[in-house]
Amino acid sequence: MNAATRPSVISLYKRMLYTAKQLPNKTPTEVRDKIKKAFQRNSQLKDEEITTAVSRGEYVLKELEVLIFLQKYRTIKNRYYSVDDTIKKFEDF
């Protein structure tokens, strides 16, 4: 790993750890261990492969953020709206 790719890898690792804390059904240590193993598996990559792996990691991170957002949205929706309320709104329409 050269000096150009090192900050991007560390930044990705930190953002993944931060995002993993927000997962509702997983313990933080379990997710942290999985992230750590994934980064250790890829520690022998060359510079070109590192940039590809970082871009793939960015994509995975975005997908994870979307899943967390969707889970939060569904939780809020279920707290404030029941299925009967939604049916009544469509019947009144």
Mean pLDDT of 1-17: 90
| pLDDT at position 77 over 90 | no
Range list of H helices, the chain: 6-20, 28-41, 47-80, 83-92
Of 65-69, 70-74, 83-87, the poorest mean pLDDT is in 83-87
pTM: 0.76
Residue 93 has pLDDT above 70, yes or no: no
What mean pLDDT is predicted for residues 58-69?
A: 93
Residue 61 in contact with residue 12, Cβ under 8 Å?
A: yes
Query: pLDDT tens digits, residue range 30-41?
Result: 888 999 999 999
**Taking the CA atoms of the chain, what radius of gyration do you get in angstroms?**
19
What whole-number percentage of the chain has pLDDT above 90?
Answer: 47
Nearest-5° Cα angle at 76, 70 to 82: 115
